[in-house]
Chains A and B, each alone.
Chain A
Amino acid sequence: MMIKINMAADIVTTPILAEAIIETGSLLNISQAHFDPIHGEVVAEIPSDQLAKIRDALVNRGAEVVVLNTPIHRDEDECVECGACISVCPVKVFSFADDWSIEVDSDKCIQCGTCLKMCPHNALALGQ
């Protein structure tokens, strides 16, 4: 399963990921990481049965953990298959099929929300 770990400025420079890995003995497979001076965001894959353990270890160190289990949802009635969403998604969830229909690989979604603002037809939603 995928989780997103948010770190505020005060802990962004501390090695909490490494500490959590050592403490729990669980492996985090990091697929995305973004850091700036005020905020850090990491998306990682973890073994589902170890979620509780890993979440506790991270939350105790001041991080926020979100389970990425409500990926992007496309309302097919509203969607006109323009493809505007394709170029803004950081993990390439959207693509054109050979016949120029839209394909959505929602397993990849990291719930960043960027495509929601892009869609001119209000066809995309998170959390359903």
Chain B
Amino acid sequence: MVKKSIHEINGRIRDGSVNVVTAEEMVDIVGELGAEGAAKEVDVVTTGTFGAMCSSGVWLNFGHSEPPIRIGKLWLNDVEAYSGVAAVDAYIGATQQSQSKGMEYGGAHVIEDLVRGNSIDMHGISPGTDCYPRKVIDTTINIYDLNQAIMLNPRNSYQKYNAATNSTNHTLHTYMGSLLPHYGNVTYSGAGVLSPMHNDPNYETIGTGTRIFLGGTQGYIVGEGTQHSPAAGFGTLMLKGDLKKMSSEYIRAATFEGYGTSLYVGMGIPIPILNEDLAKATAITDDDIVTNLLDYGIPSRDRPVLRTVTYGELRSGSIDIDGKEVPTSPMSSFKKSRQIANELKEWIRAGDFLVSMPVERLPTTTPCNAMKQTNVNPLVVDIMSSDVTTIHEDAGFHDAAKIIMEKQFNHLPVVDSGNHLVGIVTAWDISKAVAKDEHDLVKDIMTRNVVTTSPDEAIDISAFKLDSNNVSALPVVDSNKHVLGIVTSDDISKLLARRH
């Protein structure tokens, strides 16, 4: 049984005799020497990851103005920062978007601009008080003008992430990137073999107070992150570090098309090899790490798991879904993850970084529950109109025009001989056909790519579908594509008007 203390290891770091390897290198070492041999040889294993971490932000302190202000609301480059804490403190969160530029620029970009030393326009307002009489402040600051810029990320470094794909017939824009229709691609995140928490899954050395690499400088683990869900393999960490010492090499703003902004954060954890169990744990490979492939085409919290998949498979460049070979790509950078693990290794080797034990271990049983929702979600079935007439695809377009006229519907679902929905015709399609003098069959003028809903879908999802597809009605279909009714944007606005 090998047993080493943290003091022994730090002694070796100080006298330069320490043996540090990355988690990637450790795989072969354990393969060669076995866990016991590796535990004797190796003192520290470094990990690293560089990916989108939405739940990130920075506490800023600006110092007091003359006359003083107790800032109530604050904008940095037109991105709102939370300033409901004392007078001149604020928290800028990564996903907050600019009022004027929208998704193009957000809190993450403010953070990157701070790290790069760029100037930031600041605008704050306040009701004014006897002790803080000033009501408005406008100034330009950079990171050197601040008393503190402390990165405090409530939830980083997820132990593992799900992989994403899309079963629908249209491209989805998500925080997992563009997901092409009909399982056109798969995206995933996380550094696999180098993933910090996978290398110490029992949190023996990872906990409150552990010294880590964060953004290119030394940082610390505050404790478990929000939504920490260790039993399900989804542990998370809350991290802190001094933004003033960070580098844009490891702190990068990002925009996910159609989703918003996020911050790419580089972090790494050194795992002191105190015993054989830790040596064994750090020998984990991509093939040992299993995650779920989820269908993001299902707009629900409980997305179906299409299959389980290992990081080894994901990183091979393609995986199999229902007999189809689908290309995969990561959203996080393995090259940078490796760079972080290597940089941390060099710091330790050079004696610039001492490893630490947590002053408090992470909880291993905290549950992560869903939101308690006291207002019941209305469903499509509650508001759809079941009085819907359909038309056969081989009918003449005049028949369609007549039905639309008589029934005063704007939308006419089109069905085939088996009564399955195959298209939709609107009053607009008919006018177009008339204008072009094309008096054809319904199937020649209908829209084939119909966006549909089902009776048990939440209204909020239908509202989102109407909006994002720029349509004004959705046929309601069952699993056999039989038309059960229709919901229109009018129905939904009426309902929402009642709700607000």
Contact = CB atoms under 8 A, between A and B. Distances in A.
Contact of B329 (A80, A83, A117, A122): A83
Interface string A97-109: 0011100000000
B178 A114 contact: yes
A66 interface: no
Given A118-B257, A120-B255, A122-B255, A80 B185 contact: no
A30 interface: no
A11 to B, nearest CB: 15
A120 B52 contact: yes
Interface string B220-257: 00000000000000000000000000000000101111
A100 B331 contact: no
A88 B50 contact: no
Contacts of B332: 82
B136 interface: no
A36 to B, nearest CB: 9
B330 interface: yes
A100 B177 contact: no
A81 B336 contact: yes
A96 B334 CA distance: 10
Contacts of B335: 81, 99-101
A37 B255 CA distance: 34
B333 interface: yes
A121 B489 CA distance: 35
A100 B178 contact: no
Interface centre among A86, A88, A99, A101 (most CB of B within 10 A): A88
Interface in A111-128: 114, 117-118, 120-122
A80 B251 CA distance: 10
Interface residues of B, number: 32
B195 to A, nearest CB: 15
A120 B104 CA distance: 11
B448 interface: yes
B312 interface: no
A50 interface: no
B330 A120 contact: no
Nearest to A116: B257
B125 interface: no
A84 to B, nearest CB: 5
Interface residues of A, number: 20
Interface string B177-221: 110100011110000000000000000000000000000000000
B333 A120 contact: no
Contacts of A96: 317
Interface string A68-84: 00000000000011111
A116 to B, nearest CB: 9
A114 B331 CA distance: 16
A13 interface: no
A120 B264 contact: yes
B336 A120 contact: no
B173 interface: yes
A86 B318 CA distance: 11
A88 B448 CA distance: 25
B178 A120 contact: no
Contact of A84 (B180, B187, B252): B187
B328 interface: yes
Interface string B324-348: 0001111111111010000000000
A37 B254 CA distance: 37
A80 B333 contact: yes
Contacts of B255: 120, 122
Contact of B330 (A37, A83, A101, A114): A83
Nearest to B318: A87
A57 interface: no
Given A118-B177, A120-B52, A85 B329 contact: yes
Contacts of A82: 51, 330-333
B327 A121 contact: no
A96 B327 CA distance: 13
Given A117-B257, A120-B255, A86 B331 contact: no
24 contacts: A80-B252, A81-B335, A82-B333, A83-B330, A83-B334, A84-B331, A86-B317, A87-B180, A87-B185, A87-B329, A88-B177, A88-B178, A88-B180, A88-B184, A88-B185, A100-B333, A100-B334, A100-B335, A100-B338, A117-B178, A118-B178, A120-B262, A120-B331, A121-B252
> Would you list the 8 A-B pairs with minimal beta carbon distance, nearest first?
A87-B329, A120-B254, A87-B185, A86-B329, A87-B327, A100-B335, A117-B257, A82-B333
Given A82-B330, A84-B177, A120-B256, 19 more contacts: A80-B333, A80-B336, A81-B335, A82-B51, A83-B333, A83-B334, A84-B330, A85-B329, A86-B327, A86-B329, A87-B180, A87-B187, A87-B327, A88-B177, A100-B334, A100-B335, A114-B178, A120-B262, A121-B252
Interface of A: 37, 80-88, 96, 99-101, 114, 117-118, 120-122
